[in-house]
Amino acid sequence: QSALTQPASVSGSPGQSITISCTGTSSDVGGYNYVSWYQQHPGKAPKLMIYDVSNRPSGVSNRFSGSKSGNTASLTISGLQAEDEADYYCSSYTSSSTGVFGTGTKVTVL
């Protein structure tokens, strides 16, 4: 199973909106609504930000939103803040009954 494809880096100024893409195939992202997103600050464990494509866990800011179209899922961060600077990973269920992560995207707040 190949990792899902994410851009290596995305940047934006405070207050702006950015979108991170996560591209897979019909055997993973496109085939199931089981896409989740994780935020990881340096030296820390990943934190769940979005589950089942577009749902936010309790306690996660509503500035984070998720969506999916075909084989590509997206995470949008609106009103970008300095604390949002981190690595972000998508994850999906696959037709092999396994889990797969994305390649990861480094978000920089300019």
- Cβ proximity to other proteins, 51 vs 61, nearer residue: 51
Tell me whether residue 24 or residue 102 sits nearer to other proteins (CB atom). 102
> 2: helix, coil or strand?
coil
Q: Are 101 and 6 in contact (CB under 8 A)?
A: no
The CB density around residue 68, as the number of other CB atoms within 10 Å, is 19
**Smaller CB separation from other proteins, 53 or 109:** 53
Residues near other proteins (CB under 8 A):
1, 3, 32, 34, 36, 38, 44-48, 51-52, 57, 89, 91, 93, 96-104
Q: How far apart are the C-alpha atoms of 89 and 35, rounded to whole Å?
A: 10
CB of 16 to other proteins, least distance (A): 25
